Amino acid sequence: MPAQLPSHAGPFALGTFAVAPDAAPFPGLVTGTRVLDLSDLAPSVRALVEGWAAVLPRLDALARGDDEGVRHDLADLRIHAPLEPGQILQSGANYRKHVVDLVVAEKESVHGATPEEARADAERMMATRSREGVPYLFLGSPRALCGPYDDIVLLALGEQHDWELELALVIGKPGRNIPVEDAMDHVAGYTISNDLTTRDRLYRPDLKAIGTDWFTAKNADTFLPTGPFLVPAAFAGDPMDLRITLRHNGIVRQDESTKDMIFDIPRLIAYASTTTTLRPGDLILTGSPAGNGAHWGTFLAPGDVLDADITGLGHQRNTVRSQT
């Protein structure tokens, strides 16, 4: 556990915990610094989410003390990722300032535009994309998940290992072809995910016609620290007005509001559901704001520490180490 315990918005949150590093994990109801073992209610947080509408009143009663079950001090527990998702959908290029900076850099270096010309053109492009375009989504591997305080293990292949802090939502109600106006009814809650990317493994020089290799660049074990908690949507506040902050070795690298998303959460859910049926326990990452390592010209190295916060959802601290 970290020296400072993570906090959460609202009267309770959910998480997955263990009493020892090698002990079997259990679903827990978090109320401040105490955790109620929910194993008698469900085998996992995923199972709780699958019955979300029916289980919420019971969780509320338990949070008010309506139970004599086993309670633990949060400080005594290992915190795992809050749930094992069914599928992970990840949104790329979904923060306006981030994408504008990328477009500006390309127009200046490749096309010889002045900074003023490049920025004006990029802003026009983003306005058109927001109005007329659609999100960019790709699949991630659940095997990449690790806990919010676990070590990040760098692969020997590649050198440009980068961070991308994101607001993640958990689906709590199934649906296909979900209308935008109904999309928020399908959200159970929110958590924090850091979508790490090995930049120099993202493009395949041997398969230029195919281009990117999302599997290799993004899905290594431990490359998706997630948690600490699943905070129910009713407690998280306005998800389009949360602060995302990441510190790399104590230096603030990302600090942005979710207001800067190009496609908001309802549009992401609606778009995803045109292709795949969304089911309870699915995880949707909503994109990362400006300030990743590529922007700063620095990448992760053994011994580095990442501290990550999103308003009301808690805190992550991951130490980076080499693959042994």
Residues of 148-174 as b/e, b for ≥16 C-beta within 10 angstroms?
Answer: bbbebbbbeebebbbbbbbbbbbbbbe
Of 23, 38, 24, 22, nearest to 71 by C-alpha is 38
How far apart CA 233 and CA 65 sit, in angstroms, is 21
| 69 CB neighbour count, 10 Å cutoff | 12
pLDDT at position 284 is 98
Three-state secondary structure string covering 139-187: EECHHHEECCCCCEEECCCCCCEECCEEEEEEECCCECCCCHHHHHHHE
- pLDDT tens digits, the chain, 324 residues: what are they? 566 788 999 999 999 999 998 999 999 999 999 999 999 999 999 999 999 999 999 999 999 987 778 899 999 999 999 999 999 999 998 998 877 777 666 666 666 777 777 677 778 877 888 888 999 999 999 999 999 999 999 988 899 999 999 999 999 999 999 999 999 999 999 999 999 999 988 888 787 777 888 899 999 999 999 999 999 999 999 999 999 999 999 999 999 999 999 999 999 999 999 999 999 999 999 999 999 998 999 999 999 999 999 999 999 999 999 987
Q: Which amino acid is at 55?
A: V
In the chain, CATH 3.90.850.10 covers 88-94+136-322
In sign, the C-alpha dihedral spanning 20, 48, 9, 63 is negative
Neighbouring C-alpha atoms within 13 Å toward the C-beta of 3: 1
How far apart CA 32 and CA 250 sit, in angstroms, is 26
pLDDT at position 323 is 86
Kindly report the pTM of this predicted structure: 0.94
| 257 CB neighbour count, 10 Å cutoff | 14
- The DSSP code sequence of 100-134 is HHHHHHHHHHTT---HHHHHHHHHHHHHHHHHH--
**78 sits in which H/E element:** strand 78-79
How far apart CA 148 and CA 30 sit, in angstroms, is 15
How far apart CA 5 and CA 32 sit, in angstroms, is 9
How far apart CA 76 and CA 19 sit, in angstroms, is 7
**217 sits in which H/E element:** helix 214-218
Structure token digits, residue 191: 């958590």
Q: What is the bridge-based pairing of β-strands 165-171 and 283-285?
A: antiparallel
The 8-class DSSP code of residue 226 comes to: B
How far apart CA 307 and CA 116 sit, in angstroms, is 34
Task: Indicate the angle between helix axes 115-132 and 96-109, nearest 10 degrees.
Answer: 140
CB 278 within 8 A of CB 186: yes
pLDDT at position 109 is 64
How far apart CA 167 and CA 113 sit, in angstroms, is 34
Structure token digits, residue 170: 């958990």
* Beta-bridge partners for 30: 13, 35
CATH number given to 88-94+136-322: 3.90.850.10
CB 48 within 8 A of CB 55: yes
**53 sits in which H/E element:** helix 52-63
**92 sits in which H/E element:** strand 88-92
Structure token digits, residue 189: 């809650």
